[in-house]
Amino acid sequence: MKTKLFFTTLFILFIFINIIPACQNREKIALKDLPITAQTFIDDYFSLDSITSITTDTHGRTYEITFLNRGKISFNQQGLWQEIDVEKSPFPIALFDILPAKIFSYLIATYPTEAVTTLRKTSYGYEIEIGFSQKLKLQFDDQGVVMKK
């Protein structure tokens, strides 16, 4: 009886070990497997040495790069950035080059002491989260005009 219980438990454990990773639908890939556009973006704005993992969904539609500081970048299938989340680290000032100048000017004038923590491309333009303890979401259109605070 104990043997049967042992093997049943072992079988269930085996199933869970194999099913849980399959449910995540992400697989690790090498930097060279990213679209060239994504590779160039990372090389231009981030340190390649600080990458801890590069994953893609099982269909190769999205890519996610994770860094030592727990920051993340998501890219679409063409290698264009979709979201940049720097967690608790300072947002690289060079990244403001990828935004309309109006957004940078607005943030400096209105929230000079707040840090940008997340930058997201959306269907209407951009969504930016500022502040570490109390996050504030700001929405901008493609031209950099504030839509919603």
Q: Has domain 27-148 been given CATH number 3.40.1420.30?
A: yes
Two structure tokens written together for 54: 């590069």
Percent of the chain with pLDDT over 70: 83
Nearest to 130 by CA among 148, 146, 114: 114
Which DSSP letter does residue 42 get? H
User: pTM of the entire structure?
Assistant: 0.77
Beta-strand runs (E) in the chain: 26-28, 51-57, 62-67, 72-76, 81-85, 116-121, 125-130, 136-141, 146-148
Q: For 17-69, what is each residue's pLDDT tens digit?
A: 544 444 458 899 999 999 999 999 999 988 877 899 999 998 878 999 999 88
Helix (H, G, I), strand (E, B) or coil at 81: strand
Assign 11 a pLDDT band (cuts: 50, 70, 90). Answer: low
